A and B are shown apart, each in its own frame.
Chain A
Amino acid sequence: MSDATVPIPRPTLAVWKFASCDGCQLSLLDCEDELLTLAKAVRIAHFTEMTRASTLGPYDISLVEGSITTAEDVERIKVVRANSRFLVTIGACAATGGVQALRNFAPPGEFAGMVYAHPEYLDSLDTSTPISAHVRVDYELHGCPIDREQLLEVLLAFLAGRRPVIASYSVCQECKARGTVCLLVSRAVPCLGPVTRAGCGALCPSIDRGCFGCFGPSDSANCDALATRLKGLGTSESSVARLFGTFNTAAPGFAEQAQAVRVNVAIADTRHRTPEEPRP
Chain B
Amino acid sequence: MSTAINHSSSIGLDLQTIVVLTVEGLDEFVARLRALGYEVMGPTLRDGAIVPGPVNSSKDLPRGVHDLQSPGSYRVMREDDGEIFGWAVGPGSWKNEYFPPSQVMWRSEIVGDTLVFRQPDRSHALLAIVGARPCDVAALRILDHVLEEGVHRDSRYSERRDSNFIAVVECASPADTCFCASMKSGPGIDEDFDVALTELNDELGHRFIARIGSPRGADVLSSVSTRPANELDLEARALLLETASRAMSRSLPFDEVANLLARNVEHPRWLDVAERCLSCGNCTSVCPTCFCSDVHDTTDTSGAIERRRTWSSCFDLEHSYLHGGSVHESSSSRYRQWMTHKLSTWWDQFDSTGCVGCGRCIVWCPVGIDITEEVAAIAAHDQARVAVPSRPGAS
Contact = CB atoms under 8 A, between A and B. Distances in A.
Is B a genuine binding partner of A? yes
Interface of A: 37-38, 40-41, 153, 156-157, 159-160, 162, 165, 167-170, 172-173, 176-182, 184-188, 191, 193-195, 218-222, 224-226, 228-229
A170 B49 contact: no
Contacts of B311: 173, 177
A129 B313 CA distance: 32
A169 to B, nearest CB: 4
Given A162-B297, A176-B285, A188-B73, 12 more contacts: A159-B301, A170-B278, A172-B366, A173-B282, A181-B51, A181-B90, A182-B91, A185-B72, A194-B278, A194-B280, A194-B282, A218-B279
B99 to A, nearest CB: 12
A180 B297 CA distance: 26
Given A177-B311, A182-B364, A225-B367, A169 B275 contact: no
A142 to B, nearest CB: 15
Interface of B: 46-49, 51, 72-75, 90-92, 96, 101-102, 275-282, 285-286, 296-302, 310-311, 313, 315-318, 331, 334, 363-364, 366-368
Contact of B366 (A178, A194, A218): A194
25 contacts: A37-B301, A160-B299, A165-B298, A170-B280, A172-B281, A173-B313, A176-B91, A176-B101, A181-B47, A181-B48, A181-B90, A182-B366, A185-B72, A185-B91, A185-B363, A194-B278, A194-B280, A219-B317, A219-B318, A220-B317, A222-B277, A222-B331, A225-B367, A226-B366, A228-B367
Contact of A184 (B279, B286, B300, B366): B366
B298 A182 contact: no
A181 B91 contact: yes
A222 B369 CA distance: 14
A221 B278 contact: yes
A173 B51 CA distance: 17
Nearest to B49: A181
Contact of B285 (A38, A173, A181, A187): A173
Nearest to A160: B299
A203 to B, nearest CB: 15
B164 to A, nearest CB: 19
Contacts of A169: 281, 313, 315-318
Contacts of B281: 169-170, 172-173, 176
B366 A177 contact: no
Contacts, number: 133
Contacts of A156: 298-301
A153 B308 CA distance: 14
A38 B101 contact: no
A82 to B, nearest CB: 28
A81 to B, nearest CB: 26
B6 to A, nearest CB: 33
Contacts of A186: 47-49, 74-75
A73 B299 CA distance: 35
A37 B304 CA distance: 13
A177 B290 CA distance: 13
A159 B298 CA distance: 11
Given A177-B102, A182-B91, A186-B74, A226 B285 contact: no
Contacts of A162: 297, 299
B89 to A, nearest CB: 13
Contact of B282 (A38, A172, A226): A172
A157 B75 CA distance: 44
Among B96, B316, B331: residue with most chain A CB under 10 A: B316
Given A37-B301, A182-B91, A193-B280, A176 B286 contact: yes
Nearest to B71: A185
Given A170-B281, A226-B366, A220 B299 contact: no
B325 to A, nearest CB: 12
A251 B15 CA distance: 63
A108 to B, nearest CB: 35
Nearest to B280: A194
Among B51, B90, B313, B366: residue with most chain A CB under 10 A: B366
Contacts of B46: 181
Nearest to A169: B316
B352 to A, nearest CB: 24
A165 B306 CA distance: 12
A219 B279 CA distance: 9
Nearest to B302: A37
A226 B275 CA distance: 10
B278 A182 contact: no
B47 A180 contact: yes
B367 A173 contact: no
Contacts of A220: 279, 315-317, 331, 334
Contacts of B48: 181, 186-187
Among B91, B278, B318: residue with most chain A CB under 10 A: B278
Contacts of A165: 296-298
A201 B286 CA distance: 17
Nearest to A165: B296
A193 B318 CA distance: 18
A168 B313 CA distance: 12
A219 B316 contact: yes
A135 B85 CA distance: 60
Contacts of A195: 278, 280
Contacts of A222: 275-279, 331
A156 to B, nearest CB: 6
